[in-house]
Structures are given as structure tokens and as C-alpha cells.
Amino acid sequence: MAYCKCARRRLWKEKRSAPTARRVRPCPPPTQRNDDDDAPPAASSRREHAIVGAFAFTGDHLAGGKGLSLAHKSNSLEHPKQRPKISITDTRAEARGGRVPGPSGEGVASILSMQQLFEQMLLHRNDAACTARGFYTYEAFLAAAATFPAFGSTAEGLSVETRKREVAAFLGQTSHETTGGWPTAPDGPLTWGYCFKQEREPKSIYCDTTKPEWPCAPNKEYIGRGPIQLTWNYNYGLAGRALSLDLLNNPDLVAADAVVSFRTALWFWMTPQANKPSSHAVITGRWTPTAADNAAGRVPGYGVITNIINGGLECGIGPDPRVADRIGFYQRYCGILGVDTGSNLDCYSQRSFNLGVPSTGLAAQ
């Protein structure tokens, strides 16, 4: 201010009197001022910086950081729940063509709505002894599942129980393929699924030269990788074509990118091949056995999925510990999700879809 109140009062009186020069009493010293309305408190500038910091942290954009008043910023903060937040996970999933459903969605995220549930099911996957530790994440699973909207969802009008059973069956089969458990393992062998992302001690590079439509790339190996342990050049070729990825020339991607890894497993799960139904159709009750299936003892149930995956090595030979391990994982996960397993869990008496030949070429663990 140019003048204090006492000075203004004297000047106003002087204008009403004769224009003779009069001495004006000076204002009180600044330390004696009581008028706090003349300037904002010193703390205001610090508060403004704190508001700007909040915008930057939550991912909001401030139009270049210029030209916005404090009032505008304050109005935005009155409704913090309406502010969009940027998630690195969401961005990566969208880059792969996937939509990430929220926990309240109707996809698989509504079955595994909390990461704690995922962690409980795959309890020891990040153990120091597991070479896949830190690879198979909850976010990667949801991102991959979002690219297969029929998996574990209401898209086909499935009941909650059926959807839970499908998630349990998928994780049960893939946990066996990637298990690191042993009979005396801490918390039991059925808590050690998803311990490995790549086949241990492969017996070959799995290049089938009788299928020229899927040529093997130089110096590349088509060993078991990912949750389903995708194996053989033709499986990599088929999966890559379906997912728009060049997996023939870059098979290592399945063990390097967790979303891609889950997607290859889900592709196999959702896709019928030759005379085999998809695992999805079997577990959701949408598969009707043919006369040939009935004659081979292949009846609806979890056991047929084992037959689809590795029936040539595990089915039709009576009780087998590998089949029992697959069943054990499935039963444990159904228990966690609170759903019954259904019937026909084993394939002990089923003939393989391709008798005497590994039905998919997937490597046995």
C-alpha cells in the first residue's frame, strides 16, 4: 500500500479544508501493522507447490504448467476420485492389444479380484529356488486374459461356478507344467506351481522338419516355454500366427515377456486342434463327445484336458503320478475358489486322441 489508514484519513480532511500545506503524521512502523488482508500469508506459495506436486504424482497434466490459477487447481482437488491415474501395467497391456479389466469387471478379473488370491494359489512361484521368480505376475495374467474375452468370463453366459472352475483348471494344468515342487516341499508340492518358465534339460531343439510350412529358424530352439510349456516349431508357428507375433524367428520371447507367455498358454487353451476340442469347451461343458470319443472312454471332465495336453504320454496307461499331480493342483485351486471339481478328473482309462503320439508335442516335465 502507498499509504496507511491514518495517512488517508488526514489527506481526505485536507482536501475538504484550505489547500495549505500541512504536515502528515507518518504511518506506524511495519511491525505494528494489523491489516492481514493486504497480502496472502507466506504459507500460500508453499501450498500451491504442494498441489502442483499432487497433480504430477497422479499423472494429471497441467496444460504445460502455465496459466492455471490456484482456484482452478483447488477445484480439481475437490473431487480426487474423478482424477484419472496412469498405470504402467495398463499402458503395457494396451500396447499388446489388450484391455485390462478392473476387479469389478465381468472377465477373469472378477474371479481373481484380488492379487492376494493369486499369490495364495501360486504361493512359492517367486521363491529363490525358482528360475521364474518375478516373471509370472498377476498384472501380466490379467492383461493376457483380457485378449481372450471368453476365458473365465460372462461373455458366453457362464455361471460363476463354471468360470471359477475354468480358472482353477487352467492354473492347475499350467502349474503342473511349471512345477518346482517335491514331496517334502514347504507347504506341500502343490504350492510350487509356476516355478519355471522354460523346460529344464531339453532332449532336443524340437524342430520337426516334416512340416515345411513352419520352417525352423537358424540357431533357434523350440523347447518348452511359458505356462503351457509350448513346444515344437509348428506350435510356435501356429501360436505366433494367431497372436500376430513372429515366434518362429523369436521363440525366446515366450520366456522373456510375461504377457506373451500367458497369451500363448491361453491360445492353446482356447483353440481346438484337429480331432481335439479346446480345453475351454471341455471345462465349460460346451463339448459333446463323438462316438469315437465315447468308444475311447473320453468323457467330459478335467481328465480330457490332460488328454488334450499330453495324452500320448500320460493317458490310457492306468494310474500315473503326472496325472495325479495335475489333479492335485486343480483340487487345491477349486478349494481356494470355493467350487466343486466336477467328475471324471483322470484319464487313466482314456485312449489318447492320437494313440501312441504325444497329442500336442508339448514337453513333459
Tell me which residues are annotated as active site: 177
Sign, CA torsion 276/278/283/289: negative
| Residue 170 cell numbers, joined | 487352467
User: What are the C-alpha distances in Å from 213 to residues 72, 204, 237, 323?
Assistant: 62, 20, 9, 33
Q: What's at 145, amino acid-wise?
A: A
Phi, psi for 276 (deg, rounded to 5): -105, 135
- Are the CB atoms for 251 and 84 separated by under 8 Å? no
Q: Where are the alpha helices (DSSP H) in the chain?
A: 5-16, 43-58, 70-77, 88-95, 115-121, 138-146, 160-177, 233-243, 258-270, 279-283, 291-295, 302-314, 321-337
Distance CA 99, CA 92 (A): 10
Residue 86 DSSP SS3: coil
| Residue 208 cell numbers, joined | 520337426
Burial group, residue 144, by CB count within 10 angstroms (0-12, 13-18, 19+): buried
